[in-house]
């Protein structure tokens, strides 16, 4: 080994208290009265999170830059700065009533790992970079998830992402221009560049690690997902005078559709299918008016591509079969195939967890993550840590300082391994 000591030297410098305090500080940006966080993609709090991270990087002299989709990079140089860097990070945006760990943990763990590697005096061959990917949470503000990582790897054209509008009609382009103005001092990084690999720390967002009493999930892949928007068009009518036979009640039809879909997507006792109607908007939404329009979303995930195809293809015919007197339009808004993470990343994570003596499990991810699109740019993988009762996308989201630090230790060692000494 070239420099900086033996295995475990970086992990030993991870500072649990510092890492926890940074979660506390970040949770103030968009903090809610019930202890959660509402920090929507590219809103003022999301921009403030980038600023705070850049401030923390300054004492180290690490270059901070931002690309055209708002992804932020903090670069610790290597001994060979022409070598492709190893990236680690996640996202700073949250769900509308989200928690203190989803996304931000991956960013803070990456930064903590870089600090620990620095404190250990380790010189790596490849540069290591902490990255914030823009707008991971699809539908929380903008109806496009893993946007920043998707644009970075070329999955999504920049112009397509900029054209996406939030529910108030504000486009990503307009929000990016405002972010760029607020962070005008950060150099512009060209969009997309070759990488040697990507590792993302994240809370599990599910119950498995907690139930099994394990500390680390070595993530081997991400289940596939299909998302749909269903628009039901009926006719507004007076609730007191309009007989049922003359109604074109969009809510009544939408309820029938959701009931029928729930029956189809029910797979007890396996309970592997994930089917969610998370957004359901009624127009005009007045108590004395038969609703003339309903728009709802379907989020369907499964680890098996064949099941994604078979069940997902029935969404439209089932909606049409229950449209009653209304008309219905079904639009598939996104489709992601199941992803398998490729070595050397999962093996580097497993080696680090084993080497540090942490109890771990090789496991699949139920949630989508930036590591999914990143797999298109280079070998990627993830490190999970437990979260309380498996709760996430909720203000009650919780994790322990010890588990968060354990994940950062595994990350620090995996990054040293991947970047080379």
Q: Which of residues 248-277 bind its own copies (CB under 8 A)?
A: 249, 251-252, 255-256, 258-259, 262, 266, 268, 271, 273-277
Asked whether position 245 contacts its own copies by CB under 8 A, the answer is yes
Residues 191-210 that bind its own copies (CB under 8 A): 204-207
Q: How many residues bind its own copies (CB under 8 A)?
A: 73
Residues 308-337 that bind its own copies (CB under 8 A): none
CA distance 179 to 43: 8
Quote the least distance from Cβ 224 to its own copies, whole Å.
10
Residues 42-101 that bind its own copies (CB under 8 A): 95-97
Phi-psi region of 389 (alpha: psi -120 to 50; beta: other; left: phi over 0): left
Taking CB under 8 A as the rule, which mask of x and - marks residues 363-402 in contact with its own copies?
--xxxx---------------------xxxxxxx------
Asked whether position 169 contacts its own copies by CB under 8 A, the answer is no
Q: How many CA atoms lie within 13 A of 281 on its CB side?
A: 7
Q: Any bridge partners for residue 340, and if so which?
A: 221
Asked whether position 170 contacts its own copies by CB under 8 A, the answer is no
- For its own copies, the closer CB: 82 or 271: 271
Closest residue by Cα to residue 401 from 9, 20, 133: 20
- For its own copies, the closer CB: 326 or 415: 326
Cβ atoms of 369 and 146 closer than 8 Å: yes
DSSP-derived 3-state class of residue 10:
helix
CA distance 387 to 209: 8
Quote the least distance from Cβ 244 to its own copies, whole Å.
5
Residues 276-295 that bind its own copies (CB under 8 A): 276-292
**How far are the Cα atoms of 95, 261, 280, 349 from residue 277, in angstroms, in the given order?**
15, 10, 7, 35
Closest residue by Cα to residue 206 from 22, 342, 14, 369: 369
Asked whether position 139 contacts its own copies by CB under 8 A, the answer is yes
- For its own copies, the closer CB: 13 or 38: 38
DSSP-derived 3-state class of residue 131:
strand
């Amino acid at each position: 080994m070239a420099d900086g000591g033996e295995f475990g030297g970086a992990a030993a410098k991870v500072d649990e208290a510092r890492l926890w305090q940074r979660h506390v500080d970040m949770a103030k940006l968009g903090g809610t009265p019930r202890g959660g966080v509402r920090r929507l993609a590219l809103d003022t709090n999301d921009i403030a999170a980038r600023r705070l991270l850049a401030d923390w990087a300054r004492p180290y002299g690490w270059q901070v830059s931002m690309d055209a989709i708002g992804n932020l990079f903090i670069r610790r140089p290597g001994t060979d700065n022409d070598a492709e860097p190893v990236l680690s990070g996640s996202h700073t945006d949250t769900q509308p009533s989200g928690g203190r760990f989803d996304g931000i943990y991956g960013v803070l763990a990456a930064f903590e790992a870089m600090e620990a590697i620095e404190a250990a005096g380790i010189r790596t061959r490849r540069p290591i970079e902490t990255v914030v990917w823009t707008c991971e949470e699809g539908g929380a503000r903008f109806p496009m998830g893993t946007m920043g990582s998707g644009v970075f790897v070329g999955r999504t054209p920049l112009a397509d992402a900029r054209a996406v509008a939030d529910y108030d009609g504000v486009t990503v382009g307009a929000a990016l221009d405002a972010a760029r103005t607020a962070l005008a001092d950060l150099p512009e990084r060209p969009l997309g560049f070759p990488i040697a690999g990507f590792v993302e720390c994240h809370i599990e967002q599910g119950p498995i690690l907690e139930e099994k009493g394990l500390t680390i999930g070595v993530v081997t892949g991400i289940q596939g997902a299909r998302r749909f928007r269903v628009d039901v068009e009926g006719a507004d009518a007076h609730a007191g005078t309009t007989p049922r036979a003359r109604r074109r009640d969009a809510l009544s039809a939408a309820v029938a559709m959701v009931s029928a879909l729930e029956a189809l997507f029910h797979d007890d006792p396996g309970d592997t299918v994930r089917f969610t109607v998370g957004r359901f908007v009624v127009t005009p939404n007045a108590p004395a008016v038969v609703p003339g329009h309903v728009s709802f979303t379907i989020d369907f995930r499964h680890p098996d591509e064949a099941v994604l195809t078979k069940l997902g293809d029935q969404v439209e015919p089932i909606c049409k079969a229950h449209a009653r007197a209304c008309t219905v339009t079904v639009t598939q808004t996104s489709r992601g195939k199941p992803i398998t993470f490729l070595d050397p990343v999962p093996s580097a994570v497993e080696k680090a967890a084993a080497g540090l003596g942490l109890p771990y499990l090789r496991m699949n991810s139920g949630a989508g993550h930036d590591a999914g699109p990143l797999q298109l740019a280079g070998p990627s993988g993830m490190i999970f840590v437990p979260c309380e009762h498996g709760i996430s996308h909720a203000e009650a989201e919780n994790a322990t300082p010890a588990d968060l630090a354990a994940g950062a230790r595994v990350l620090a060692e995996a990054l040293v391994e991947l970047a080379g000494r």
